Amino acid sequence: MLLAAFVVLVPLSVTTVRSVLGTASNSPPRLRVAGLKNAVILSSLDQVYPMGQYATDITYYLTHLGYQVTELTNQNVTISFLLTQLNNYSIVVWRTNTYTWKHVEYWYVGQVATPALEIQYANDFTYGFMNGNAGILGINLNFFTEHFISGMLNNVKLMIVIATDSDAFAQTLITAGAGTVIFANGQVDLSFGQNDDLITQVVASLYMGQNVYNAVYGVVSPFIQNSNPEDPLDSSYSPPFWYEGNGTLTI
């Protein structure tokens, strides 16, 4: 049904987009209005799996759309920031991943676990909503449903969550007010940069004026169409990305 309604788009690489639109050094930002359009890139595991050029490219696209972009990495991504600051940004890109403790899945925050934090968030630790056994604070699905209440993200029009099983809390973020959430509905591996590359292509497509549906589907669809490998020893791959919320959203 989706295939019938959609003309397949060829994903534009960073190099292709820049060849058309120029580089950051010779192409002035468009529609820049200081303080009115804010975006943040959170890379919780940057010390282990650097986002590198992908963060630079995403920043490039958003800056040239007039957004003031903030980048926070590792322990600068804190519980307090997630709970009190996200609503200051209309676009949020959060790159993290998961670990399992006693059969419960936790998403890394970035902030280092300390005894002081265990006291500060005693209830969350007691009920298992928050965990520090990996050395870095982790939060589970119950943390999202408990803390991300209605209206909390009313100013956020787009969230992109690059993390394993982030579909589990996408609807919670929308209930909290986020307009659209692009998520992973499966396993994400930050080691090789493939997922970073695909998300960067999504942002590049949004930069070119596509809406969320076209941007996401245009990046995912070529993999789906070639899902039958020519060599029986090859394994097919389908990017585990989709979205919830307003598919007609443009940025």
How far lies 243's CA from each of 76, 151, 193, 220, in Å?
27, 20, 20, 12
pLDDT of residue 223: 67
Q: Which pLDDT score, from 0 to 100, does residue 194 have? A: 86
* pLDDT averaged per 10 residues, the chain (length 251): 38 44 38 64 97 97 97 98 97 97 97 97 97 97 97 97 97 98 93 91 97 95 60 64 96 95
Q: Which residues pair with 158 in a beta bridge?
A: 91, 180
Q: How far apart are the first and last CA of the chain?
A: 26
Question: Does a structural domain hold residue 6?
Answer: no
Name the percent of the chain in helix, strand, coil, to the closest 5: 35, 20, 45
> How far out from the chain centre does Cα 97 lie?
11
Decide if 248 is inside a domain.
Answer: no
Query: Maximum Cα–Cα distance for the chain, whole Å?
Result: 56
Domain hosting residue 58, numbered range: 14-226+236-243
Spell out where the chain has E strands: 38-43, 68-73, 91-95, 98-101, 104-112, 130-131, 136-139, 158-162, 180-184, 241-245
CATH number at residue 174: 3.40.50.360
Residue 32 in any domain: the answer is yes
Overall pTM > 0.85: no
* pLDDT at site 25: 36
State how beta strands 158-162 and 180-184 pair. Answer: parallel
What is the domain count for the chain? 1
